[in-house]
Amino acid sequence: MTDAVLVKTTQDGRRVEVIDGWVCLAGVREADHLVPLLEHPNRQAIALAVPGASHVAGRIPLTHEETAIAQGAMAAARREFDASPAAITQRIRHAVWAKTAAEGVE
């Protein structure tokens, strides 16, 4: 397990951190990737509720600065090789999905 990287603290005091490549809220996994606000289906409501938000991690809006912290920590976690059976299974699953999609198999 890697160290947690603090991204921000919510208004109610919960910590938003990147742990093992996941954005976590109070230690619970929230998202393994960030969605630019411009691509989010609920972007108008998010922009009204959180001015300055540029990305969303699950249900957590992030500013540009918070996004940079999260992306850096997530990239660092991906550089660490995980040889656990679960990680190997996940990499195989992704490879099969990619090959299937490339061949157009449904």
Asked if 56 and 37 touch (Cβ cutoff 8 Å), the reply is: yes
Q: Look at the block and give the residue holding tokens 């679960």.
A: 86
Q: Look at the block and give the residue holding tokens 């490549």.
A: 21
Give pLDDT, residue 41: 94
- What is the model's pTM? 0.71
CA-CA-CA-CA dihedral for 29, 34, 19, 81, to nearest 10: 120
**pLDDT digits 0-9 by tens, 57-96:** 999 999 999 999 999 999 888 876 677 888 888 888 888 8
Please tell me the chain's helix, strand, coil percentages from 3-state DSSP, rounded to the nearest 5.
40, 25, 30
Domain residue spans of the chain: 5-81
Asked if 34 and 69 touch (Cβ cutoff 8 Å), the reply is: no
